[in-house]
Amino acid sequence: METTKFDIKRKQHSSSIFSREVLFHYLAFAASIVGILSLALLLATALFNAFGLKTADLFWYLCYILIVLLPLLAFSWYCKKNPAVGKVAIRAVGILVGGTLFGTLLLVIFILLDPQIAFLYFTFTVLPTSLVWFYARSQQKQSVYLSFAPLAAMIMGIFLSNFLSKLIPYFPADWLIFVWIFGPPVALLSRHFLKTTPLKSHRTHLAISVVLFSIIVGLFTNTFTEISPTTSVLYFLTILIPIFLYASTLLFSPEQNKLGLLFPLLLIATIFLARIVATSIGAAHPTPWLDLQFITSPPSRFPAEAGLYPALIGSIFIVILVGILSLIFGVGAAIYLEEYAPKTGPLGSLTRLVRINISNLAGVPSVVYGLLGLALFVNLLGMGFGTVIVSSMTLSLLILPIVIIASQEAIRTVPEAVRLASYGLGATKWQTIRNVVLPMSVGGILTGTILSMSRALGETAPLLMIGAATTVFKAPTGLDSKVSAMPLQVFHWAFSAKPDLRGGVAAAGIILLLFVLLSMNGIAIILRNKYRKDK
């Protein structure tokens, strides 16, 4: 077959394109490697400084390498040869690590907040509201009054909790409060989980046993050990119970390889053994900056006494208010633009203009929103410099376009046929939105909102523009309190003249901030996967 000039030119052209494609491929790969290594180096440096690893000597490292790392590598090599074992081991370690992090997070939250106030709010607000909500959901015919009953129960519970907090002189011990707040929910979740296992006939008894064993663990540690009963109860509910539930599914399943359950046990045993050996030979341990004292102490000019407590509480206040404001206004605006706004005529043109401007506002630099908050909330409305409410409203303006766009995209994923089917059954437009559109799009809405909140948590420029302090020594107690945030405090430490503040304390703040951000992103991913699977 003869080769024409056209074929020759096409081959040359394809060859040149192929070479450019190869060049682009390797350039992109090199850029990715440089970016990953840079982030890894930054994170490793922050971890090294935050946990004070430079104070540990060579023998401490050798103990953990020989006693912990080598056995885990050997078991990992065995798991590579047996993928079924590796799959079980990964899930078991994930439950162990996730339960530890979740238990630690709950412990920190209850250290920062008052357990007695939490006891009142759970008893008189959360519990009655949940019962009323479940009762309203169980009724086939819901009246208008029944729809608002959970909201009424919540409002009454809040007022009652605030009223009783000034009257009740004595409260149960903190660990009993933890059993009361977390024991029944974990028991109900365990009962729900066991209904698909061979233990389903005993799931009610096992659920009751969860609460009873929580009390036994608290009594035992409070009486016979020096371990905090609050800590032991929390970790029992967040670590041991999930591992027991996962193990129960494997022990009665012949196709699963149960040997993978030994991996978390090996991990815990080797860590304790390495600690004992390192202590017995007198090896110098790390002196971490990131510890409980750092989380619960105010800032100080002395590095050993410096903490992030006021900024952490300020960030919690800001994030909660930002989430509430952005959900209310962002989701409301998205519903109107997608479901009610006119699509044709002069008003339709106005709707398209609004959508274009919302998309443009999502790309505006954050410092511009800080200037807007300064002009609107501080100068015009006189709400004060650097208060909780001004910071929250300014950051809400920052993420509002992102929340609107994410909510619009989630609402658009609902098929039109589902809406028409709802209309065909006699539902009104609002009933269709409430019972069909929003339940099917709630995963995307929550994902976009949480990711936007994580961005707001890491912002510094808008807070500086509205006069938020880089350092405060008291946690905010109300909406008009002066506030600081974790990024502001870390920014202040990073430019300190003292090396320990600039290195160790600032690194501890960075790691804590990264942990909060990654936790929020992880929650968003879990919600997205859950609702995607349900859909």
pLDDT of residue 161 exceeding 80, the answer is: yes
Lowest-confidence region among 11-25, 75-89, 107-121: 11-25
Lowest-confidence region among 23-37, 183-197, 285-299, 514-528: 514-528
What pLDDT is stored for residue 31 in this prediction?
92
First to last CA, the chain: 56
Confidence class of residue 496 from pLDDT cuts 50, 70 and 90?
confident
Please give the Cα distance from 423 to 428 (Å, whole number): 7
Mean pLDDT, the chain, as a whole number? 82
For the segment 51-57, the average pLDDT, to the nearest whole number, is: 84
What pLDDT is stored for residue 429 in this prediction?
84
Where do runs of H (alpha helix) occur along 169-254?
174-193, 203-224, 229-235, 241-251
Tokens 């589902």 belong to which residue?
418
Q: Which of 533, 370, 347 is nearest to 463 (CA)?
A: 370
Lowest-confidence region among 11-25, 85-99, 136-150: 11-25
pLDDT of residue 14 exceeding 60, the answer is: no
CA torsion sign for 98, 103, 106, 112 is negative
Q: Could you please report the per-residue DSSP string of 39-61?
A: HHHHHHHHHHHHTTGGGS-HHHH
Q: Where are the domains of the chain?
A: 18-50, 61-293, 305-534
Please give the Cα distance from 309 to 163 (Å, whole number): 27
What pLDDT is stored for residue 460 in this prediction?
84
For the segment 119-130, the average pLDDT, to the nearest whole number, is: 86
* pLDDT digits 0-9 by tens, 334-364: 988 888 888 887 887 888 888 888 888 888 8
Q: Are 527 and 447 in contact (CB under 8 A)?
A: yes
Q: Which of 477, 455, 111 is nearest to 307 (CA)?
A: 111
As a whole-number percent, the residues of the chain with pLDDT over 90 amount to 2
Lowest-confidence region among 25-29, 82-86, 505-509: 82-86
pLDDT of residue 449 exceeding 80, the answer is: yes
What pLDDT is stored for residue 203 in this prediction?
78
What pLDDT is stored for residue 34 in this prediction?
92
pLDDT of residue 8 exceeding 70, the answer is: no
* pLDDT digits 0-9 by tens, 216-226: 888 888 777 77
Instruction: For 305-534, give the CATH class.
Output: mainly alpha
* pLDDT digits 0-9 by tens, 317-342: 888 888 888 888 988 889 888 888 88
pLDDT of residue 438 exceeding 60, the answer is: yes
For the segment 23-30, the average pLDDT, to the nearest whole number, is: 88
Highest mean pLDDT among 112-121, 165-174, 265-274 belongs to 265-274
For the segment 112-127, the average pLDDT, to the nearest whole number, is: 82
For the segment 140-149, the average pLDDT, to the nearest whole number, is: 66
- Is the pTM value of this prediction over 0.85? no
* pLDDT digits 0-9 by tens, 227-281: 778 888 888 888 888 888 887 777 766 656 777 788 888 888 888 888 888 888 8
